[in-house]
Structure 1
């Protein structure tokens, strides 16, 4: 369970507003010059950003990103702005972002509601609630000039530097996938840039999901059918620019594509 924030509420409000203003103005913040955060502070800032950026306009968060670098490290989670969730083949405008980094990922989609309850859901219950996996492209964007090595928890506060989310091929028989041995390719402008096998940080991205889903159920007062959670990059982040086309391919599973316009 996430502990309470340590920073006062008015300072958390101010820091969230700085991130929102940096997003609006396409200006950079430097995390090393900002107040230090705990993990709980970062999640509190996330909530304030989402409340002001989309929840006050009646948009409900239905997509999240989760990730960790090791099975021994507690994952982190961040909401994805509903206006930045796209189907495969979408065109993203470079003008809407400060940078765009493309990541190849596998996401899981809920086929039934998971209401809040007193006890955590078991892994078996959570598996039963998932109705599909998807190939996705997560794009990275940041309001932090030092986003590649930010001060502790500032990357998490900045919505884990999420830019957008492009949803590709759906796989209903997802439990039959042998993801620890899965290959992945990333193509930029029809040129193969990355080809790897079994390269997810945890081997099997499902290992993130029991913690992540129970965390989100508590945080969101339950999850709904159709909610989708992506599970971290298989190949790091590949920066792209206006004019580029991107294709992420998981051979034998499917792909997701996007274009970047000026």
Structure 2
């Protein structure tokens, strides 16, 4: 990594510490550079923690339209930011907390390197469980009309944690499962597994190939958030959100 990219990663660490609003960072000229900055930022932030897995973002047309981006992105999930259903959050811990409603998968074995790209069927065969889940994102008061994908990726794709329901054996057809999001008991929106690029295994294969291109791999017990199937919600006061996925169960989070 160039010295300039290392300096940008250090700046990101400082801006999170000091509560600086999200803004475009100069000096990141490509997605490749953005992921290099992300790696340095994660390394500087993780401390004594470990990597629990990955988030994949912008896997539905509605989320891509919301952010003005036409491809998936990914980031690291830290182990100490993995919460069980029923977690209570403090909004003051985030620049601006957003909630995304997703299907989470858990790897049942390592995906060993191979010469050919992974297919959705191959990565799907390597998972051992799935769960309803809510990703916590922190967009740090971003202005979406001026969103810069390179800075977003460098900023760990905004992952701030996950809340996960009970894992269950994967059903035969994840793409047909319906998810319903509720706020304080009232239905907000619905989505389907197919909203994640047609099938949750499609973004999972994208992630596996992205990691392989950078000398890494998905490993047993990694959890992967496969992308929001309901548009992000930003609570502005005390809240309780629940996400029900037919055949998988529910996950709930509250806070103030």
TM-score range with shorter-chain normalisation? 0.7 to 0.9
- The one-character-per-residue Cα deviations of 1:208-251 (angstroms, maximum 9, x if unpaired) are 12221232245463332110111111111011144211111113
Partner of 2:38: 46
| Mapped partners of 1:215, 1:124: distance in 2 | 16
- Aligned: 1:252 with 2:244: no
The corresponding residue for 1:92 is 89
Q: C-alpha distance in 2, partners of 1:142/1:29?
A: 7
Query: Taking structure 1 as reference, are residues 64 and 135 closer, same or farther at Cα in structure 2, changes over 3 Å only?
Result: same
Secondary structure class of the residue paired with 2:20: coil
Q: 2:155 aligns with which of 134, 151, 158?
A: 158
CA distance in 2, matches of 1:112, 1:252: 23
- Find the aligned partners of 1:114 and 1:240 in 2 and give their Cα distance: 37
Relative distance call for 1:199 and 1:119 in structure 2 (3 A) is: closer
Q: Which runs of 5+ in 2 are unaligned?
A: 62-69
Query: Which among 3, 26, 29 is matched to residue 10 of structure 1?
Result: 3
**In structure 2, do the counterparts of structure 1 residues 86 and 45 end up closer, same or farther at CA, with 3 Å as the change threshold?**
same
Q: What is the rounded CA distance, in whole Å, between the counterparts of 2:48 and 2:228 in structure 1?
A: 30
Secondary structure of 1:172's match? coil
Distance 1:79 1:95 in 2: 22
Note if contact 2:95-2:141 (Cα within 8 Å) is conserved in structure 1.
no
Structure 2 Cα separation of the partners of residues 147 and 76 of structure 1: 16
In structure 2, C-alpha distance between the alignment counterparts of 1:30 and 1:247, rounded to whole Å: 31
Q: Is the 8 Å Cα contact of residues 98 and 234 (structure 2) preserved in structure 1?
A: yes
Are 1:223 and 2:218 an aligned pair? yes
Unaligned runs of 5+ in 1: 1-7
Aligned to 1:133: 130
Q: Does the aligned pair in 2 maintain the 1:28–1:143 contact within 8 Å? A: yes
Where 1:232 maps in the other structure, the secondary structure is: strand
Matching residue of 1:59: 49
Alignment of 1:47-126 (within 5 A): 47-54=39-46, 57-67=47-57, 68-69=59-60, 75-116=72-113, 120-121=117-118, 123-126=120-123
> What is the alpha-carbon distance in structure 2 between the residues aligned to residue 113 and residue 58 of structure 1?
23
Secondary structure (helix, strand or coil) at the match of 2:3 reads: helix
Equivalents in 1 of 2:204, 2:193: separation in Å?
Answer: 18
Shift of 1:182: 2.8
Query: Which residue of 1 is the match for residue 18 of structure 2?
Result: 25
Paired position in structure 2 for 1:3? none
Task: Tell me: CA distance 1:75–1:145, structure 2 relative to 1, closer, same or farther (3 Å).
Answer: closer
Aligned to 1:177: 173
Distance 2:141 2:151 in 1: 8
2:22–2:139 CA contact under 8 A, matched in 1: no
> How far has the Cα of 1:198 moved from its partner?
6.2
The answer to whether the Cα contact below 8 Å between 1:91 and 1:258 also exists between their aligned partners in 2 is yes
Measure the CA separation in 1 of the matches of 2:148 and 2:121.
Answer: 37
CA RMSD of aligned residues (A): 2.6
Among 229, 234, 240, which residue is 2:229 paired with? 234
